[in-house]
Amino acid sequence: MDGGASVARIPIRFGRLKPVLVVVGLTPRRSYLELSDDVLRVRMSWGFSADIPRASVRSAQRGPDRPWSIGVHGWRGRWIVNGAASPIVSIRVEPPARARTMGFPASLRELLVSVDDPNGLVMLLAD
């Protein structure tokens, strides 16, 4: 991240399955989004990482609050990175960004992420 820019740090929300996620090493302390003027950084412990250029964030909106899973899961560029079933924000990325999941490279064109204040995240990404 840019050393001079202000950075907003948004924790990934964890719900009732938090103890299970912590046992496998997906901890709240290491699960967050960091938003600077240039980059949206996403981390979920060892399970997921991506640095998305802000210019590539095409949209952010409330997502479906019925995800198919908790943790880190994805297919064909659509990734869910969540510690809770809701609330979810859907972030569209174009061109697709590079991500890593469990150390393996992945493409990221849509990110579904659980946060405490989805409307706040949507507003931050709209700026």
DSSP 42-65: EEETBTEEEEEEGGGEEEEEE--S
Does residue 18 lie in a domain region? yes
Average pLDDT for 7-23: 94
Q: Which range marks the domain in which residue 42 is found?
A: 8-126
**How many domains is the chain built from?**
1
Q: Is residue 2 part of a domain?
A: no
Cα 89 from chain centroid (whole Å): 9
For 14, other C-beta atoms within 10 Å of its C-beta total 20
Q: Would you say residue 65 has pLDDT above 70?
A: yes
Whole-prediction pTM: 0.90
Going by DSSP bridges, is the β-strand pair 8-11/88-101 parallel, antiparallel, or unpaired?
unpaired
Instruction: Give the helix ranges, DSSP H, for the chain.
Output: 18-23, 118-126
**What SS3 state is found at 28?**
helix
| Average pLDDT of the segment spanning 28-41 | 96
In a domain, 52, yes or no: yes
Residue 127's pLDDT is what?
Answer: 75
